[in-house]
Chains A and B, each alone.
Chain A
Amino acid sequence: MAQSTSTQILDPSPGRPWQKSPRQFIPDLVVFVLALAVSEVTVSLTGLRGKIALLSLFTLYSMAGSMVIAFRRRGISAMGNALASSFVYLSVALVALPLFSVVITVISRGVHALRINTFTQDMAATQPDAPFNQGGALHAILGTIVLILLATAISVPIGVLTGLYLTEIKGRAEGLVRFLVQAMSGVPSIVAGLFVYAVWIVGGHGGFSGFSGAVALSILMLPTVARTAEEVLRLVPNDLREAGVALGGTQWRTVVMVVLPAARSGLITATVLGIARIAGETAPLLLTIFGTTAKHFNPFSGPMSALPLYVFQLLQSGLNVAIARAWTGSLVLLAMITVLFTFARVVGGKSKS
C-alpha cells in the first residue's frame, strides 16, 4: 500500500478527477438514445407529426430521464438541480435556434443571385427582372457604408461625452439626462425618420440626402452608445481617477489619459452595439434618403440607397428575380456587419495584451 502511494508521487500524470469517467456517461447516453427512440415511436404511433413534435417530445423525455438518473444517484435535491440545468440548456437552444435559422436561410437564399457584379455594378441601367449577371448592389453597399460612418461620427462623440457627463461630471442634470437618454432609446425608428423629414427636409434645410438619413439614424444610435458608454465608464475603478488627479492632472487630462483608455474595449463595444442598432433600419431611411438605383457618393445632396432599403424596394416589386436579389442584399448586409464586428473585436481586444 505504502509502495503504491510512493510510486504515485514519483510518477504523477495530469488528470482531472473532478470530471465524469466514461463509465458514468453510460446512463446519460442511454437516456439520450432511449428518449430519441421513444419520441420516434410516439410520433409514428400517435397523431403527432413533424420535426417540431419530435424535438419537443425528445426534450421532454430526456429531461425526465436525466431527472430520474439524478434522483437515483443523489436524491431529490440533485433532481431539482438536473431540472434547472435542463431549462438552462433548453433556453440556450431556443436562443441559438432562430439565430442559426436566420443565418442559414439568408445564406442559402442569398447565394442564388450572388455574382461578382453584385459588388461592382448598380441598378441604374438594369431592370429588376434582368438576369443575375447584370446589375448589382454596389450603390446600396456604398450607401450603407456612408450612412454608418456618418451616423457613427455624429453619435459616438456625443454619446461618449454624455456618458462622461453621467460618470465623471455628475452634474445637476444627471438624473434628467439619464431619463432623457432612456426615453430616447424608446423612440420608434419611423418617428425618428418622420422627425427628420418634417423638421429638416420639409422645413427646407435639405432634401433627401445621406446626411438626412445619418441624422435620423443618429437619433436611434445615440441612446444606445450613451447608455453603454455610461455602463463601461462606471466600471473604471475610482482608484485610477484618484491616481490621475493626485498626480497633478486636471479632470479632463485624467479622463483622456486614464479613464478613456481603461474603458477602451468597452467603448468599442458601445460603438458596435450602436451600429448594430442602426445597420438594418429601413423605415427612417425611406423618409430621409428615399432610395435610388444609381451610385451616389455625396451624402449632402440627392437621394441615396442603403442595403435595407435596397432589400425593401426589391421585395416590393414582387418579381421572383427581384426577390432573389433582395435575399442577396440581406446576405451582403449580414456579411458586412459580421466583418465590421470582427474587426472591432480584434482592434478592441488588443489593449489587454
Chain B
Amino acid sequence: MSNLININRNEGDDVAAEPNEGSLVSSLAAVANRAVRIPANVRNAGADLEARGVHAWFGANHVLSDINLAFSAGTVTALIGPSGCGKSTFLRTLNRMHEFIPTAAMAGEVLLDGVDIYEQGTDVTKIRLKIGMVFQKPNPFPSMTIGENVLSGLKLAQLKHSNKSDLMEECLTRAGLWNEVKDRLSAHGGSLSGGQQQRLCIARALAVSPEVLLMDEPCSALDPGSTLRIEETIRHLAESVIVVIVTHNMQQAARVSDYTGFFLSEDGPGRLIEFAPTREIFSRPKDPRTEAYVTGRFG
C-alpha cells in the first residue's frame, strides 16, 4: 500500500489538494446524493451493455485485466482512477475504437443487448452507430459548418432522415447548444469556443441516435462554466441513453453519475477495484484503496 501513495502525486485533481479527508468524503457523498435522480418509471427500457472478462494489451504490455461491468439503461456510470490505470482503454474497447491502435489486442466479450460486438462478421460501423463516443479534445470537423457537423454522422453512415432541420434542432437542444448557435448554423465549427465545440461534438454523436454514449474525459479541456453545461447535458441524456464517462474529476463523478467504477493499476495491468452506486463509493467505499483514492491520499 505504501508505494501506492506516491503514484502520480502531481495528478492534478483539485480534490487531492483538500486537506481534510473526512469532511471531503462526506461532502462528495452529499454531492452524489444531490445529483438529480431520474425515477425508474420514466427511464426507457433501452439497451444493455455488458463487459465480460475484458483484457487489453498494447504489444506485449498487458494494460487491462479481467474487467466485468454491466451498464443498464438510463444510468450514468463514471469510471475513475489515476492516470494509466486503463480506464480510457476500457472505454475504447466498448465501441471497438481500441483496435485503431496498431499494436492493440484484447480478450473477452462486450455484449450489446446480449450480442458480442467482437463476434466474427459483425459490422463494426453499425456497432459504432449504436455506441457513440465523445472525445477528450473537442474535434468538430473543420471543413464543415455547425449544422453540417451535427448531421455529419448521417452522411458518414449514409443514413436517411426525413426532417434534417428538426433533427439538427433537437440534437443541438439536447446538447444544450441550440440557443447559442441557432442564428449561425452556417458558421464554421471551429469558430465556437472550446466548451461550445464539445457540446457540438455531443450533438453530433446524438444525431445518429446511439443507445450508448461513451465520454472520454469530455470536460478536461474546458472551463468550469462549460463543464457545468455539459454535466447538465449528461444528466438529461441519461433519460434516453446509457452514458459511460471517464473522468479525472471526482467531484464531477459525484455530480453526474449513478454508478462509479474505480480502476487501479498496481505494478501490472489495470483492474476494476470497486464498482458500486456512486453514493457508496464516496461515502462508504468497501476497498481501502478506493477510500485512499477518493479521499485524495494518492492520485
Interface hub of A245, A246, A253, A258 (most chain B Cβ within 10 A): A246
Say yes or no: A243 contacts B139, CB within 8 Å. Answer: yes
Chain A interface bracket (under 10, 10 to 19, 20 to 34, 35 or more): 20 to 34
Say yes or no: A239 contacts B135, CB within 8 Å. Answer: yes
Interface string of B111-135 (1 = CB under 8 A from A): 0000000000000011011001101
Say yes or no: B137 contacts A239, CB within 8 Å. Answer: yes
CA distance A237 to B137 in the complex (A): 11
A242 within 8 A of B: yes
B42 within 8 A of A: no
Interface string of B138-160 (1 = CB under 8 A from A): 01011110000000110111100
Contacting residue for A247 out of B100, B102, B204, CB 8 A? B204
Count A-B contacts at CB 8 Å: 76
> What's the nearest-Cβ distance from chain B to residue A161, in Å?
20
A257 within 8 A of B: yes
Chain B interface bracket (under 10, 10 to 19, 20 to 34, 35 or more): 20 to 34
A248-B126 contact in complex given A170-B102, A257-B155, C-beta closer than 8 Å: yes
Identify the closest chain B residue to A243 (Cβ): B139
A302 within 8 A of B: no
Contacting residue for A261 out of B97, B100, B132, B143, CB 8 A? B143
Say yes or no: B97 contacts A247, CB within 8 Å. Answer: no
A243-B135 contact in complex given A170-B102, A262-B141, A262-B142, C-beta closer than 8 Å: yes
A212 within 8 A of B: no
CA distance A242 to B204 in the complex (A): 13
Question: Which residues 219-263 in A have Cβ within 8 Å of B in the complex?
Answer: 237, 239-240, 242-250, 253-254, 257-258, 261-262
B250 within 8 A of A: no
Say yes or no: B139 contacts A247, CB within 8 Å. Answer: no
CA distance A170 to B133 in the complex (A): 24
> What's the nearest-Cβ distance from chain B to residue A308, in Å?
37
B95 within 8 A of A: yes
A264 within 8 A of B: yes
Say yes or no: A242 contacts B97, CB within 8 Å. Answer: yes
CA distance A258 to B155 in the complex (A): 11
Say yes or no: A248 contacts B135, CB within 8 Å. Answer: no
A44 within 8 A of B: no
Identify the closest chain B residue to A260 (Cβ): B143
Interface string of A146-159 (1 = CB under 8 A from B): 00000000000000
B246 within 8 A of A: no
Closest 6 CB pairs between A and B? A249-B156, A248-B129, A261-B143, A248-B157, A247-B153, A239-B139
Can you list 25 pairs linking A and B with CB atoms under 8 Å apart?
A170-B102, A237-B139, A239-B137, A240-B139, A242-B133, A245-B97, A245-B125, A246-B95, A246-B97, A246-B133, A247-B153, A247-B156, A247-B204, A247-B205, A247-B208, A248-B128, A248-B153, A248-B156, A248-B208, A253-B155, A253-B157, A254-B156, A257-B141, A257-B152, A258-B156
Which A residues have a C-beta under 8 Å from some C-beta of B?
170, 237, 239-240, 242-250, 253-254, 257-258, 261-262, 264, 351
Additional A-B contacts beyond A245-B97, A248-B129, A254-B156 (16; CB < 8 A): A239-B137, A240-B141, A242-B97, A242-B139, A243-B139, A244-B156, A246-B97, A246-B135, A247-B156, A247-B208, A248-B125, A248-B157, A249-B125, A249-B157, A258-B141, A264-B143
Which B residues have a C-beta under 8 Å from some C-beta of A?
95, 97, 100, 102, 125-126, 128-129, 132-133, 135, 137, 139, 141-144, 152-153, 155-158, 201, 204-205, 208
